Amino acid sequence: MLRVCHPSKLRNRVLQISKGIDEAGGLQWELVLALFVAWVLVYFAIWKGVKWTGKVVWFTALFPYLCMLCLFVRGITLPGAELGIKYYLTPDFSRLQEPQVNPTFLLFDEDRLRQMEEKWTEEDWKWKEEDWTRRFSFHDGLKELRRFSLQVWTDAATQIFFSYGLALGTLIALGSYNKFHNNCYRQAIFVCFVNSGTSFFAGFVVFSVLGYMAKQRDVHRSQRRARNGVSETPIRK
């Protein structure tokens, strides 16, 4: 059984959120160092102009596809990969109507976090293993959180905006180097198809491994039950 990381750990150790807007808080040296390294890499990437970076893109854009292809070949050869791929290709549209709560929304509300810690039991903090979906189970006292029922749609819209890079200043700046008569419509359609196709192909890579993990989990559980003198056949919906 997987467990949820307690929100207070993320809030106090990782994010180190201050008590309010009037308290600036201190510097997180781990993040400062990572940000400094990132800016140094950006400087050396563009200090000779955009034309030099255009040659690097041939490697940075194509190498991830080679890695995904290797992972895909390895994933589909694992036992149980067909279970994950079948689950991936079988949509369940009823899930779109279920109440979903993004825990990041709860971390910034101290009152709601306090109420949640008081009402939730240990079982409520465990990841649910039903159909491999990670969902919270709620007490009756937390039914008001159902107003986040559109969270799954919000997450999907956020992901597609981030994936396409809409309104990002970096892409707009790079687009300014195109020729005046460049066919932007054709390139936009091409990018959309490539992006969606890449995401669809990445799903096979991920879910083939998930199918293998699910089969291994059932095998290990059956072995433990057999040693304890209990026999059980896994039943899936």
Is there a single domain that holds both residue 57 and residue 75?
yes
Report the pLDDT value the prediction gives residue 64, as an integer from 0 to 100.
92
- Domain assignment present for residue 153? The answer is no
Helical pair 50-76 and 29-46, crossing angle rounded to 10 deg: 120
Please tell me which residue, 52 or 198, carries the higher pLDDT value.
Answer: 198
Domain end, chosen from 148, 173, 206, is at 148
pLDDT tens digits, residue range 53-100?
777 778 888 999 999 999 999 999 999 899 899 888 987 777 666 655
Report the pLDDT value the prediction gives residue 137, as an integer from 0 to 100.
40
| 222 annotated as a binding-site residue | no
Report the pLDDT value the prediction gives residue 147, as an integer from 0 to 100.
43
For residues 148 and 115, give the distance between their C-alpha atoms in angstroms, rounded to a whole number: 17
pTM, to two decimals: 0.56
Is there a single domain that holds both residue 201 and residue 216?
yes
Please tell me which residue, 104 or 215, carries the higher pLDDT value.
Answer: 215
pLDDT class of 2 with cuts at 50, 70, 90: very low
- Domain assignment present for residue 23? The answer is yes
Summarize the confidence of residues 215-237 as an average pLDDT.
Answer: 48
Report the pLDDT value the prediction gives residue 124, as an integer from 0 to 100.
52
**Per the structure, how many domains does the chain have?**
2
- Domain assignment present for residue 110? The answer is yes
| 195 annotated as a binding-site residue | yes
Report the pLDDT value the prediction gives residue 121, as an integer from 0 to 100.
55
- Domain assignment present for residue 84? The answer is yes
Question: Which structure tokens are listed for 232?
Answer: 């059980």
**Domain residues for 77?**
50-98+159-237
Is there a single domain that holds both residue 4 and residue 81?
no
Is there a single domain that holds both residue 169 and residue 207?
yes
- Domain assignment present for residue 222? The answer is yes
67 CB-side CA count, 13 A: 7
Is there a single domain that holds both residue 131 and residue 219?
no
- Domain assignment present for residue 78? The answer is yes
pLDDT tens digits, residue range 178-216?
888 889 889 889 989 999 999 999 999 999 999 998 888
pLDDT tens digits, residue range 9-49?
666 667 777 777 777 777 778 888 999 999 998 888 778 77
Is there a single domain that holds both residue 14 and residue 111?
yes
Is there a single domain that holds both residue 105 and residue 140?
yes
pLDDT tens digits, residue range 137-179?
433 333 444 444 566 778 888 888 888 888 888 778 777 878 8
- Domain assignment present for residue 154? The answer is no
Residues pairing with 126 in the sheet:
3
Type and span of the H or E element at 8: helix 7-9
Summarize the confidence of residues 218-224 as an average pLDDT.
Answer: 51
Is there a single domain that holds both residue 31 and residue 114?
yes
Is there a single domain that holds both residue 194 and residue 82?
yes
Is there a single domain that holds both residue 108 and residue 211?
no
pLDDT tens digits, residue range 107-126?
444 555 555 555 555 555 54
Is there a single domain that holds both residue 40 and residue 107?
yes
User: Burial code of 172-197, b = ≥16 C-beta within 10 A, e = fewer?
Assistant: eeeeeeeeeeeeeeeeeeeeeeeeee
Is there a single domain that holds both residue 137 and residue 203?
no
- Domain assignment present for residue 37? The answer is yes
Let me know if 82 is exposed, middle or buried by CB neighbors in 10 A (0-12, 13-18, 19+).
Answer: middle
